[in-house]
Amino acid sequence: MSDITLAASANAFEQIFTNIVQNFTYSKSDTASFGPFSASYAIALHLQDGTLTLNNDNTIDVSDLEIVFDTLTVDVCFTLPGWCVGGFCVVPDPWNGCLVPFPGFCIGAFSICPTIDLSGLVSEVTEFDAGLRVNYYVDPARLPGWSDLDAELHGHPNKWQIFINPTLVDINPIDVPATVANILENAVKNAIDSAIPSWVPGWAVDLLWDIIGPILNLIVDLLGIVGDIADWLESLLDDSFNILSFIETAITDYFAGQYPIYEFEDPYPVLEATPTLIPVKIPIRDLTATVDSQEMVVLANVGA
Amino acid sequence: MAFTDHCDLYGAVREAGVNRVISHIMTQRPSLFNYATTAVAHDAELWCQPVPHTPDVTNHGNPLFTIVNPLPVLGADAPPVGLNFCAQLTKAEIDFSPGNTIPLPQALNPPLADQHFSLLLRLCGGIECPTQDAINQVPPGGQLSDQRSSTAVPVKEIVLQGRLDCFCLDVIAIGHIQRQMLGAVPSLLAQVDEMDVVGVEPVGLEENMVCYLKTTVNVVLREKLTIAIEKLMLSFSLFGLSTVTLATTPNPPIPNNPAVEDDQVKAFMTMTSV
């Protein structure tokens, strides 16, 4: 039988879990080249909600945990080919020559980097299975000759820590909305529009758009997209940039090693220091933590 | 049955654990349990018992004894005369209901009642018995008139030297643990209800000793050893959350909070979301 028994109800445990969830943030950015185009992304996200279930087999399930992308932007950089219109004769001279010639114009090849801003998107953690992990933390800054009291006075005490230790974290693919096609289409159209010299008459501009054809087809051809643009961007983020894997790893690391659900100093101070007296601290040994469907139970002994 | 069937947070410590905690307190804060005059405290040969302590105590300049004034010799005021002494608590052991480790004397009506604890204390002490030569150093009557004059300076107390005659007593007490708010902090306070000093006669002397010791123990428990429930529960993380408030679970549903039963002291807290 252990000297010390602590128990937290499932409700209490969920409160602690919620506090940890609310403190999670993650951000990352990267750039890569993919042949006909290059892309970069920036993400910043946090977690919200989540329903906790404690199980009799000493495991924890979390459902309805959402990932909120406070920032999710993707820059896709690619080169538009050049196009030329004319020159030719608009009004020919019936006798000879040309009464109204059109000299023609060209827009040269140029690069654009439209930004696709999907900030505010929400994804879901579809699987979150975990257990509890007890860790005895020895501060690496603690010097070998220090007593426990010296370590505390220098701000480097040993600690008992209990972590939620995820065994499986699985995230839904980022659900890129179909409107992303319009975002790209408008970006390309605006880029071409701004490249056309201002003196070019409207009918010649129309002629240029006829030559270019449907913008979306142009984008698909230039970027080598097979299928839907939204699916392509989703694949770019999830598979090429491996964002989901990074987020899953970040969530796992956060719960398993960065943010304990419970932590206290060892030896544990039972009487505080006074201006003239050192604190009284008791060593805690043999700490274990388990869950069943009703509560978390922590057992420990008082060391000699 | 779950520990938290009727509460959100439960904490319990077994008597064996509490006794180890007491042992740690005695070795890390010995001055709470050892009292002596300066001369005795500074001479280990005069101590009634050794004072176990951790190296940290002396490494950080903490005292082993609380220094107290000499025991006054009644009637001596010109100059005042005192005697060296020491008083040491060398053992303290607790037994939570049901009583099974500390045999209770008949005077305490065994067996130990429900929701109570018993306490075994060993007290050692002694008063320095001065030699006649030491007594002869006291000026015979001469300073009385000087002291009463308006220009007199205070006369320094004479502390007589001699041999310290030590004795040890076993004291057994029974008591209960109650909740006490220290400011806004729910805490546990042990209180001794009855006490018996083994082997002291006559009855009147024993009763006076019991009264003094019981008062001393209860005052020290109140002043120095009131433990916040948060401490009992090792500062469980729920205490630090701003999203909840914690209060001791009322009766009903918990009839005794704290409870002293099953050889443990138990506390129950209920959480309310803010």
Provide, as residue numbers in chain A, all residues whose Cβ is less than 8 Å from the Cβ of B234: 4, 6, 264, 268, 284, 300
pLDDT given at position A92: 86
How many domains does chain B contain in total? 1
Do B231 and A270 lie within an 8 Å CB cutoff?
yes
What rounded mean pLDDT belongs to chain B?
A: 93
All residues of chain A having their beta carbon less than 8 Å from the beta carbon of residue B52 are: none
Tell me the mean pLDDT in the region A24-36. Answer: 95
Nearest by Cα to B81 from B29, B134, B35: B134
In the prediction, which pLDDT does B142 show?
A: 55
Please report the pLDDT score of residue B144 as a whole number.
Answer: 53
Residue B217 clears pLDDT 90, i.e. is over it: yes
> For B159-228, where are the alpha helices, taking DSSP H only?
203-224
Distance CA A180, CA B261 (A): 67
Q: Which long-range contacts (CB under 8 A, 24 or more apart) does A97-104 make?
A: A102/A204
Residue B16 to chain A, least CA–CA distance (Å): 7
Quote the pLDDT of residue A288.
Answer: 98
pLDDT at A89 over 60: yes
Q: For residue range A138-177, list pLDDT tens digits in order.
A: 999 999 999 999 999 899 999 999 999 999 999 999 999 9
| Calpha distance A101→A92 (Å, rounded) | 8
**Upper half-sphere CA count for residue B188 (Cβ side, 13 Å):** 25
Assembly ipTM: 0.91
Distance from C-alpha of A129 to C-alpha of B131, rounded to nearest angstrom: 80
Chain A / chain B CB contacts < 8 angstroms: 125
In a domain, B4, yes or no: no
What is the identity of the amino acid at A304? Answer: A
pLDDT score for A52 = 94
Q: Provide the pLDDT for residue A226.
A: 84
User: What average pLDDT does range A62-77 have in this prediction?
Assistant: 96
Confidence of residue B151 (pLDDT cuts 50, 70, 90): low
For residue A86, what pLDDT is reported?
Answer: 77
Give the integer Cα–Cα distance in Å for B122 and B102. 13
Question: How confident is the model at residue B198, as a pLDDT?
Answer: 84
**Residue B231 pLDDT more than 80?**
yes
Q: What is the pLDDT of residue B148?
A: 53
∠ CA(A192), CA(A193), CA(A196), 5° rounding? 85
| Beta-strand pair B158-160/B9-14 | unpaired
Residue B201 domain boundaries: 9-273
Cα B202 to the chain's mean position, in Å?
25
The rounded distance, in Å, linking the Cα atoms of A64 and A127 is: 9
**CA neighbor of A121 nearest in space, from A27, A44, A183, A228:** A44
> Is residue B208 included in any domain, yes or no?
yes
Q: Please, what is the end-to-end C-alpha distance for chain B in angstroms?
A: 28
Could you read off the pLDDT of B20-48 as tens digits, one per residue? 999 999 999 999 999 999 999 999 999 99
Could you tell me the residue ranges of all domains in chain A? 4-302
pLDDT for the residue B263: 98
Q: What is the least distance, in Å, from the CA of A259 to any CA of chain B?
A: 12
Shortest CA distance from B272: residue in chain A: A12
Q: What is the pLDDT of residue A95?
A: 85
The string of pLDDT tens digits covering residues A115-137 is 999 999 999 999 999 999 999 99
Out of A171-175, A259-263, B140-144, pick the least confident: B140-144
Q: Is residue B2 part of a domain?
A: no
For β-strands B259-261 and B227-228, DSSP reports them as unpaired
Q: B64-68, B72-76, B78-82, B226-230: which has the highest mean pLDDT? A: B64-68
Given the structure tokens 């000493």, which residue do they identify?
A58
Question: φ, ψ for residue B188 (rounded to 5)?
Answer: -110, 135
Q: Is residue A148 a contact partner of residue A267, using CB atoms and an 8 Å limit?
A: yes
Name residue, tokens 């959402």: A66
User: A277 at the B interface (CB within 8 A)?
Assistant: yes
Flag the least confident range among A275-284, B145-154, B217-226, B258-267. Answer: B145-154
**pLDDT in the model for residue A17:** 95
pLDDT of residue B242: 86
**Rounded to an integer, what distance in angstroms lies between the CA atom of residue B28 and that of residue B96?**
24
Closest-CA residue to B238 (of A262, A298, A24): A262
Considering chain A, what is the average pLDDT of its residues? 94
Mean pLDDT over A176-199 rounds to 91
- By a Cβ cutoff of 8 Å, what residues of chain B touch chain A? 2-5, 7-14, 16-17, 20-21, 24-25, 28-29, 31, 55-57, 59-60, 62, 224-225, 227, 231, 233-238, 241, 243-244, 264, 271, 273
**Measured distance CA(A196)–CA(A205) in Å, rounded:** 8
3-state SS string over chain A?
Answer: CCCEEEEEEHHHHHHHHHHHHHCCEEEEEEEEECCCEEEEEEEEEEEEEEEEEECCCCCEEEEEEEEEEEEEEEEEEEEECCEEECCEEEEECCCCCEEEEECCEEECCEEECCEEECCCCEEEEEEEEEEEEEEEECCCCCCCCCCHHHHHHCCCCEEEEEEEEEEEEEECCCCCCCCHHHHHHHHHHHHHHHHCCCCCCHHHHHHHHHHHCCHHHHHHHHHCCCCCHHHHHHHHHHHHCCHHHHHHHHHHHHHHHHCCCEEEEECEEEECCCCCCCCEEECEEEEEEEECCCEEEEEEEECC
A280 with B59: Cβ contact below 8 A: no
Q: Under the phi-then-psi rule, with left for phi > 0, alpha for psi from -120 to 50, and beta for the rest, what region is A286?
A: left
Yes or no: say if A130 and A167 are a contact pair by the CB < 8 Å rule.
yes
> What pLDDT is attached to residue B153?
65
Q: What is the mean pLDDT of residues A51-72?
A: 96
**Does the beta-carbon distance from A8 to B238 stay under 8 Å?**
yes
Percent of chain A with pLDDT over 90: 81
Q: Is B145's pLDDT higher than 60?
A: no
SS3 B159: strand
Q: Is there a contact between A264 and B235 if contact means CB atoms under 8 Å apart?
A: yes
Residue B47 burial (CB count, 10 A): 20
The 10s digit of each residue's pLDDT in B9-22 is: 999 999 999 999 99
Torsion of CA B209, B213, B216, B220, to 10 degrees: 170
| pLDDT above 90 (res A108) | no
What pLDDT band is residue B256 in, cutting at 50, 70 and 90? very high
Cα distances from B88 to residues A13, B125, B207, in angstroms, run 45, 6, 20
How do residues A208-217 score in pLDDT, each as one tens digit? 999 999 998 9
pLDDT of residue A16: 94
Pairing mode, strands A295-302 and B9-14: unpaired
In a domain, B111, yes or no: yes
Note the pLDDT tens digit of each residue in A200-210. 889 889 999 99
CB within 8 Å: B4 and A18: no
B43: helix, strand or coil: coil
What's the start-to-end Cα distance of chain A, in Å?
A: 16
